[in-house]
Amino acid sequence: MKKDAKISNAVIKRLPRYRRYLKELQKKGVDKISSNEFSSLIGYTASQIRQDLNNFGGFGQQGYGYNVEGLYNEISAILGLDKEYKMVIVGAGNLGQAIANHTYYYKAGFVVCGIFDINPRLIGLKINDIEVMDYETIVDYVEQNQIDIGIICTTKDSAQEVADKLCFAGVRGLWNFAPIDLEVPEYIAVENVHLSDSLHSLAYHMNRNYEEKEKAAQK
Ligand code: NAI
């Protein structure tokens, strides 16, 4: 990767998609791919692909294209997916339980080590073999187990206090599902996930497609 390069968030957000397609190509036994072939597969223009990957030093060779396995490994390393991350879920309600049951994250190197809640009726339960522990003990647990990521699935009112505690205990990233903008020290990475944003964006595109179809029909 180019030293000191500031990569735009839009590029970073496209990398997982490149990686997913490269994994599929690997499964099919494809060793190399040109940017034009990759373009028709993934739906970005060849020049977009070249520009994106040039941010990290290229990886392509003139007249050869991209080495599928090499590029997959490079993108994995750029995203930090060549490591394993330990996570805790805070809030063992509907969403916390759904995430704990979503075993994909184990395969991908994101390991849910523990779940925490304040509700005595939930403490001691096992969700997907992971014990729900008392939130009172979270700081010690995070410190002792060197947890990297806190997943916030509590009610909105508790989310900031939970974030403060997780940061104090030493996590480096927060995956926040609560509908609140968290205030955290600048060295902590926060990724907010809002399913409703995605649904609203779907509504926008549906309406735009409909309007375009109507306009075309009137011509
Ligand atoms: P829920 O009410 O089923 O679960 C919340 C859990 O958090 C409860 O078990 C409660 O005891 C626990 N809790 C509250 N304060 C706590 C604290 N200080 N420490 C530890 N545990 C604590 O709610 P649900 O449906 O699971 O939603 C959880 C959060 O996720 C809510 O803030 C909701 O608005 C949000 N949400 C976000 C979505 C998204 O797309 N980002 C989608 C669905 C829910």
Cβ of residue 137 lying under 6 Å from some atom of ligand 1:
no
Percent of the chain with pLDDT over 70: 92
117, 137, 142: residue to mutate for ligand 1 pocket, most atoms within 8 A of CB: 117
Percent of the chain with pLDDT over 90: 68
Alpha carbon of 217 to ligand 1 centroid (Å): 46
Give pLDDT, residue 115. Answer: 97
Alpha carbon of 202 to ligand 1 centroid (Å): 24
Of 11-20, 34-43, 78-87, 204-213, the range with the lowest mean pLDDT is 204-213
Mean pLDDT of 72-99: 94
Cβ of residue 160 lying under 6 Å from some atom of ligand 1:
no
Q: What is the CA radius of gyration of the chain?
A: 21
Where is pLDDT greater, at 86 or 9? 86
Q: Above 80 in pLDDT, residue 210?
A: no
Residues 6 or more apart whose Cβ sits within 8 Å of residue 31: 67, 68, 69
Residue located via tokens 């990886």:
59
Q: Going by CA atoms, what residue is nearest to atom 18 of ligand 1? A: 158
145 contacts 118 by C-beta, under 8 angstroms: no
Alpha carbon of 15 to ligand 1 centroid (Å): 30
**What is the maximum span of the chain, computed from C-alpha positions, in angstroms?**
68
DSSP H or E segment with residue 26: helix 9-27
Q: Above 60 in pLDDT, residue 2?
A: no
Q: How confident is the model at residue 3 (pLDDT cuts 50, 70, 90)?
A: very low
Mean pLDDT of 191-196: 93
Alpha carbon of 116 to ligand 1 centroid (Å): 11
Residues 6 or more apart whose Cβ sits within 8 Å of residue 70: 59
Give this prediction's pTM.
Answer: 0.87
Residues 6 or more apart whose Cβ sits within 8 Å of residue 156: 178, 179, 180
90 contacts 112 by C-beta, under 8 angstroms: no
Cα–Cα distance, 176 to 186 (Å, whole number): 16
Where is pLDDT greater, at 203 or 35? 203
88, 95, 180: residue to mutate for ligand 1 pocket, most atoms within 8 A of CB: 95
**Is residue 189 helix, strand or coil?**
strand
For the chain, the straight-line distance linking the first and the last C-alpha, in angstroms and rounded, comes to 50
Tell me the two tokens of residue 140. 């010690």
Beta bridge partners of 33: 66
146: left (phi over 0), alpha (psi -120 to 50) or beta: left
Q: Above 90 in pLDDT, residue 108?
A: no
